[in-house]
Amino acid sequence: MTFAKSLAPVRRAVLLGLLSVLPAIASVGTAQAATPAEAFVSENIDKGFAILNNHGLSSSARASQFQTFLESLTDIERIGKFTLGAARRAASPQDVAAFDTAFRNYAIEVYQSRLSQYSGQTLKVTGSTERQPGDFVVSATLVDPASKSGHQPLKVDFRVLNDKGRMVVVDVAVEGIWIAITERDQFSAFLGQHNGSIPALVAHLEQLTVQLKNGGAAPQH
């Protein structure tokens, strides 16, 4: 099984989940947010949408601002560590560093290439649950106002951590499927099929990142 095939469910989830909900805010009523975690999600989704649609900026300036925004919203380093899972412990420091860099660069390019496609949708925060102190699940629904199909709103959950006073998103669930958990399982399966080769994982992520930087479309599955 190729890397692209082994990660197909992950990419589908990412494109429907994190990549679609981040830019999808046309209007979110932050005044209705009852908790800091809910307010964090509502306010920051709007910021990401505004950056990507600011055509007064050059493409390079917009990309730079979006990267800064994404890194303030999510803990990409934490997510990368989680997705590599147990393989990280047995890997060399050089392989771990290469994976972390490749994962970060790929994630940013994919997010940026996809977000603007969802500008007509709206996200409504509906509540939150505190799993344990500082660990929240913020619930929301994603709706396309232009849709005439009568489809039910998509249910989206954000896992938000209060990391020493800084709120960060560390996972997203679409209809109950947690993306980072799925991605970890897919990475583990790929490594199991490729003699645990982290360099192989890194090489493919780097190839996809170059394609995206050169204007290629994000993978469709």
- Given the candidates 3.30.70.1060, 3.10.450.710, 3.40.50.300, 3.90.550.10, the CATH classification of the domain at 3-213 is 3.10.450.710
pLDDT at 15 over 60: no
Per-residue pLDDT tens over the stretch 28-77: 444 444 689 999 998 887 777 678 778 788 878 887 888 888 888 889 99
Q: What percentage of the chain carries pLDDT values higher than 70?
A: 74
Is the pTM higher than 0.85? The answer reads no
Residue linked to tokens 């560390």: 170
DSSP-assigned letter for residue 7? T
Domain boundaries, the chain: 3-213
**pLDDT score, position 70:** 83
Best CA proximity match to 110, nearest among 147, 146, 85, 74: 74
Q: Which amino acid is present at 107?
A: A
What gap in Å lies between CA 199 and CA 135, rounded to an integer?
33
Using only the alpha carbons of the chain, give its radius of gyration: 17
Given a cut of 60, whether residue 168 has pLDDT beyond it is yes
How confident is the model over 92-111, as pLDDT tens digits? 999 999 999 999 988 888 77
pLDDT at 78: 92
User: Strand, helix or coil at 143?
Assistant: strand
55 or 78, higher pLDDT: 78
